[in-house]
C-alpha cells in the first residue's frame, strides 16, 4: 500500500516535468519541429505518388516510370503511365488534399474533434446531386456529374447555414452540427430511395459509393482541380480567424475576428472541397476524420500548421490505400474506401490510444 501511495506523487511529478519541458520549448524550436514535420509529410506524399505510378496489375520499375514520364514514346509502359496512372495519382492528390483540409475545417468550425465533412451534410448533398444526374437525367459521364455534385454540395451547405444562422446567436457550432445532421439524413434518404427505385442507377453507383480512384481520368481531373485550388486557398486564408475561434465566439470577437463571416467562408470552402472530391472518388469520410487528428498530434492545434499538414498527409494516406488495394487481390482491386476503413480505422484507434497514454 505504501508503494502504491508513494507512486502517485512520482507519476504527477513526471507529468509535471513533461509539461514544464513542453512549455519551456522556445517558439523557434517548435516552429523548426513543425517545419520538419511538413517536409516529412511532403516526402511521404512523394513516396506515395511514386508507388502509385509504379504499382498496379502490371508492376513497373522506377526507372521505367521515369523514362515514360520524360519520353512518351507510345510504348505500352508509357500508355499505362500517362493514360491510367498519372490521372489516377493526380486525382488522388487533389481529392485527398480536399478531404483532409475539409476535415480540419469542420473540426475547427464546430470545435468538435470527432467531426468530419459528412457531419454538415455536404458529402450527402454532393452524393445526392450525382444520384439525381444519373436517375433523372441519365447522365453517365463522370465529368458531367462533377457539376451536379457541386450543385448538391452548395444546396446542402446553404440549407445548413440557413438553419444554423436563424435566431439569436447566429450559426453556433451546436446549431451547425444539428442542422448538418438533419440535412445529411434528408439527402441520404433521398439518395437511397432514388437508387432503390432505379436498379440501373444502383448498379452504376454501387462502386462509386464505396470510394474509388479507378474511374479518374484527365477530363475529371481538369474539372475538379479549379474547385479544389480555390477551396484550398480560401481555407488557408482563414487560419488566423480559425485559431481565434478555438477560444470561443466571445474570445474570437475580443480578438477582432468576424465569427459569422469566418464560419460562412469556411462552409463555402467545404462546399468546394467536398463537392469536388465526392464527385471524383465518392463519399470517402474516414480520411477527413482521421488525418486532422494525426496532424494535431504532430504539430498541435495551430491551424497554420494543421491545415498544411492535413493537405499533405490526406492524399498520401489515400494513395497508399489505393496502392494497397491494387496489390492485395491481384489481378482484381479493392476500392480505396474499403482499404481506408479496414486498415486505417484500427491504426487511427491505436494512435488515439497511444496519445491518451502519453498525455495521461
Range of the domain at 259: 86-359
Residue 167: Cβ within 10 Å count? 10
pLDDT value for 315 = 95
Whole-number pLDDT of residue 26: 64
Cβ distance 310 to 241 under 8 Å? no
> Is 107 inside a domain boundary?
yes
Domain count, the chain: 1
Q: Which pLDDT score is estimated for 167?
A: 64
pLDDT for res 5: 47
Per-residue confidence in pLDDT tens, the chain, 360 aa: 444 444 444 444 444 444 444 445 566 677 788 889 999 999 999 999 999 998 877 777 777 888 888 877 777 778 888 888 899 999 999 999 999 999 999 888 888 777 777 777 888 888 888 888 888 887 777 677 778 888 888 898 888 888 877 766 666 777 777 888 888 899 989 988 888 887 777 776 776 777 788 878 888 888 889 999 999 999 999 999 999 988 887 888 888 888 888 888 998 898 899 888 888 888 787 888 889 988 988 888 889 999 999 999 999 999 999 999 888 877 778 888 888 888 777 776 776 676 655 455
Cα 155 to Cα 125: distance, rounded to the nearest angstrom: 7
Any idea what the CATH number is for the domain that residue 122 is in? Answer: 1.10.3470.10
Neighbours of 139 (CB within 10 A): 16
Q: What is the DSSP string of 56-122?
A: SSS---HHHHHHHHH---S-HHHHIIIIIIHHHHHHHHHHHHHHHHHHHHHHHHHT-TT--GGGGTH
Report pLDDT for 19: 46
pLDDT at position 3 is 47
pLDDT of residue 311: 96
- In-domain check, residue 5: no
Any domain includes 49? no
The pLDDT assigned to 171 comes to 64
User: Other C-beta atoms within 10 Å of 300: how many?
Assistant: 15
E runs forming strands in 235-324: none
Q: Could you tell me if residue 317 is inside a domain?
A: yes
pLDDT at 356: 59
Is residue 12 domain-resident? Answer: no
Q: Is residue 71 part of a domain?
A: no
In a domain, residue 78? The reply is no
Residue 259: inside a domain = yes
Decide: pTM greater than 0.75.
Answer: yes
Count of other CB atoms within 10 angstroms of residue 225: 15
Q: For residue 41, what are the CA distances in angstroms to 63, 110, 184, 344?
A: 24, 26, 32, 17
Residue 290, pLDDT score:
86
C-alpha–C-alpha distance, residues 99 and 116, integer Å = 9
Within 13 Å and on the Cβ side, how many CA atoms surround 357? 6
Amino acid at each position: 500500500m505504501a508503494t502504491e501511495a508513494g507512486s502517485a506523487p512520482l507519476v504527477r511529478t513526471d507529468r509535471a516535468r513533461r509539461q514544464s519541458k513542453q512549455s519551456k520549448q522556445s517558439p523557434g524550436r517548435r516552429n523548426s519541429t513543425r517545419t520538419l514535420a511538413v517536409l516529412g509529410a511532403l516526402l511521404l506524399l512523394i513516396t506515395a505518388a511514386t508507388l502509385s505510378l509504379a504499382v498496379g496489375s502490371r508492376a513497373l520499375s522506377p526507372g521505367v516510370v521515369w523514362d515514360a514520364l520524360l519520353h512518351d514514346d507510345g510504348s505500352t509502359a508509357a500508355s499505362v503511365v500517362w493514360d491510367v496512372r498519372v490521372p489516377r495519382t493526380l486525382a488522388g492528390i487533389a481529392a485527398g488534399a480536399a478531404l483532409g483540409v475539409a476535415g480540419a475545417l469542420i473540426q475547427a468550425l464546430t470545435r468538435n474533434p470527432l467531426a468530419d465533412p459528412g457531419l454538415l451534410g455536404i458529402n450527402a448533398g454532393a452524393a445526392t446531386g450525382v444520384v439525381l444526374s444519373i436517375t433523372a437525367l441519365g447522365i453517365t459521364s463522370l465529368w458531367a456529374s462533377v457539376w451536379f455534385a457541386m450543385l448538391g454540395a452548395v444546396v446542402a451547405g446553404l440549407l445548413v447555414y440557413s438553419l444554423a444562422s436563424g435566431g439569436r446567436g447566429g450559426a453556433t457550432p451546436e446549431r451547425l452540427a444539428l442542422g448538418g445532421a438533419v440535412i445529411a439524413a434528408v439527402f441520404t434518404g433521398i439518395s437511397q430511395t432514388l437508387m432503390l427505385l432505379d436498379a440501373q442507377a444502383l448498379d452504376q453507383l454501387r462502386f462509386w459509393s464505396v470510394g474509388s480512384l479507378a474511374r479518374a481520368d484527365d477530363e475529371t481531373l481538369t474539372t475538379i482541380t479549379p474547385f479544389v485550388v480555390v477551396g484550398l486557398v480560401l481555407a488557408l486564408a482563414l487560419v488566423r480567424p480559425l485559431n481565434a475561434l478555438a477560444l470561443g465566439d466571445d474570445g474570437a470577437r475580443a480578438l477582432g475576428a468576424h465569427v459569422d463571416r469566418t464560419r460562412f467562408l469556411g462552409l463555402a470552402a467545404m462546399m468546394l472541397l467536398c463537392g469536388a472530391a465526392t464527385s471524383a472518388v465518392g463519399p470517402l469520410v474516414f480520411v477527413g476524420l482521421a488525418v486532422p487528428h494525426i496532424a494535431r498530434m504532430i504539430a498541435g492545434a495551430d491551424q497554420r500548421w494543421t491545415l498544411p499538414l492535413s493537405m499533405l498527409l490526406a492524399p498520401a494516406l489515400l494513395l497508399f490505400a489505393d496502392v494497397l488495394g491494387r496489390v492485395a487481390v491481384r489481378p482484381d482491386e479493392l476500392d480505396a474506401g474499403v482499404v481506408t476503413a479496414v486498415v486505417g480505422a484500427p491504426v487511427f484507434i491505436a494512435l488515439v490510444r497511444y496519445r491518451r497514454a502519453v498525455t495521461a
